[in-house]
Amino acid sequence: MAVAVQLKGQRRVGMTGDEAVAYAVKQADVDVIAAYPITPQTIIVERLADYVHDGELNASYVPVESEHSALSACVGASLAGARVFTATSSQGLALMWEIMWIASAMRTTIVMALANRALSAPINIHCSHDDAYAVRDAGWIQFFAENVQEAYDLALMAFRVSEDKRVLFPSIVNLDGFILSHGLEPLNVLEDDTVRSFLPPKVPVNPVDPEKPMTYGPLALFDYYFEFKKAQAEAFKSVYPVILEVFREYEKISGRKYEPIKTYGLEDADVAVLILGSSAGTARYAARRLRSKGEKVGVVSLTLYRPFPVQELLAKLKGLKAIVAMDRSYSFGSPGAQLFMDVAAAFANESEKPLMINAIYGLGGRDLLPEHVEEAFMRAKEAAKSGKVEEREVWLGVR
């Protein structure tokens, strides 16, 4: 039975993913936005520029000369105590890369929307997850939205998570370029007051203060760098429980339940696909079709990518005979693409593990069709049946 969610005080609106993120950021009442336009993220910062210009958002909007400067400005603003937002895609994130690590190590609370786009060459403006994967090691929390509603919700939750004193790490909200960034969908938005009580003004830790000068990000060589990294690594381990807490609190105000991992059909599945982002819906559609024919297939999609929910994933995948990690990217010369490697590493010390296949799909915005997911399921089924994987790496739908 479908339970009608209590939508007291929520409005049903139609927005693209970019617009929904910009709306969430406006409601989050950010203090500083520094960004440089790049497709398919541009509409986010255009809308925010409108909000600031029209007096709907009292924020400092810094139109910088590059993404490197954008993130640098964000680092300074965040350390000064501001609630900070930026958005980028692909090459733009690549230009931010140097500062990505600094933003995390200096414990800023920047929230970034990343409209996922393939990295050049060839030049492409459509969706791959190359950009998100390329900063997976930098110490940022990463969420993946499956639809426009999730992009909106996760943007709000990201501020709350990042600014929590037990966290103090920056966050990325991934939304698939064009598919979500430009796709118009209905969603429910919260009232401004509700958001304000969920996200009270940021209380900074060690803010930059001219009256009390401090050194931020000083030199630490072989005598201290190692200890700083260990401290950062340990601190990052405290992020996960806070995310669960924020998910639960957000459910209370929105009626929308969030979990690090979403599953479909796992209660009796023999095989499953694992996937990130907007394609999860396609995967579930394909699974539903197969399940109606009696096939025991399931779908696992990750809302939380960093920190990678290892224990929860192992618990959910327990008993599966074969799985297909679906990557919208490729890692040249690696033992597998990025999600495959994460999942394989999660299973490293398990005595019982499923056979694993790595499916590459959708690069540069190529549609993932239900038939492609069905092929992935069939390959997993064959592996489960024969007890071995014939082809570990498959490219779904490539000519």
Place of tokens 């064009």: 178
Q: How far is the CB of 216 from another protein (least distance, A)?
A: 6
What b-and-e string marks burial along 110-126, b requiring 16 or more CB atoms within 10 Å of the CB? bbbbbbbbbbeeeebbb
- Range in contact with another protein (rule: CB under 8 A) among 8-16, 126-134, 210-218, 251-259: 210-218
Distances (CA, A) of 398 to 171, 283, 343, 356, 383: 33, 18, 24, 20, 21
Q: Judged by CB under 8 A, does residue 5 bind another protein?
A: no
From the CB of 238, what's the least distance to another protein, in Å?
12
Q: Report the residue number, 223 or 352, with the smaller CB distance to another protein.
A: 223
DSSP characters over 24-45 = HHHHTT-SEEEE---TTTHHHH
- Span interacting with another protein, options 170-178, 221-229, 263-271, 288-296, rule CB under 8 A: 221-229
What CA–CA distance (Å, rounded) separates 25 from 51?
10
Q: Which residue, 364, 322, 362, is CA-closest to 343?
A: 322
Give residues 233-252 in contact with another protein (rule: CB under 8 A).
234-235
Q: Which stretch binds another protein (CB under 8 A): 29-37, 87-95, 213-221, 333-341?
A: 213-221
Nearest distance from C-beta of residue 167 to another protein, angstroms: 12
Asked if residue 66 binds another protein (CB under 8 A), the reply is: no
Please report, in angstroms and rounded to a whole number, the separation of the first and last CA atoms in the chain: 43
107 lines the binding site for another protein (CB under 8 A): yes
Alpha carbons 168 and 157: distance in angstroms, whole number: 14
Closest CA to 274 of 187, 181, 218, 346: 346
Tokens of 22: 């910009």
Distance of CA 373 to the CA centre of its chain: 22
Q: Which residues pair with 13 in a beta bridge?
A: 187
Examine residue 137 and tell whether it contacts another protein (CB under 8 A). Answer: no
SS3 call for 223: coil
Enclosing H/E stretch for 358: strand 355-360
Stretch in the footprint of another protein (CB under 8 A) among 209-217, 284-292, 314-322, 341-349 = 209-217
Stretch that binds another protein, among 64-72, 150-158, 215-223, 342-350 (CB under 8 A): 215-223
Residue 218 engages another protein in binding (rule: CB under 8 A): yes
166-205: which residues touch another protein (CB under 8 A)? 168, 205
CB 179 within 8 A of CB 127: yes
Q: What is the DSSP string of 333-351?
A: TSSS-HHHHHHHHHTTT-S
* Shortest Å distance, C-beta 142 to another protein: 20
Candidate segments 3-11, 211-219, 250-258, 374-382, binder of another protein by CB under 8 A: 211-219
Cβ proximity of 59 and 83 under 8 Å: no
Q: Contact with another protein (CB under 8 A): which of 201, 228, 241, 371?
A: 228
Q: Is 56 in the site for another protein (CB under 8 A)?
A: no
Q: How many Å apart are CA 148 and CA 277, to the nearest integer?
A: 11
**Segment contacting another protein by CB under 8 A, of 32-40, 222-230, 266-274, 303-311:** 222-230
Structure tokens belonging to residue 12: 């049903």
Q: Total binding residues for another protein by CB under 8 A?
A: 23
- Minimum distance of another protein from residue 211's CB (angstroms): 11
Task: State in angstroms the smallest separation of the CB of 360 from another protein.
Answer: 38
Contact between 206 and another protein by CB under 8 A: the answer reads yes
Closer by beta carbon to another protein, 224 or else 249: 224
Q: Which is nearer to another protein, 231 or 315 (CB)?
A: 231
Among 201, 224, 257, 345, binds another protein (CB under 8 A): 224
Which residue lies nearer to another protein by CB, 14 or 217? 217
Site residues, another protein (CB under 8 A): 105-107, 168, 205-206, 213-220, 223-224, 226-228, 230-231, 234-235
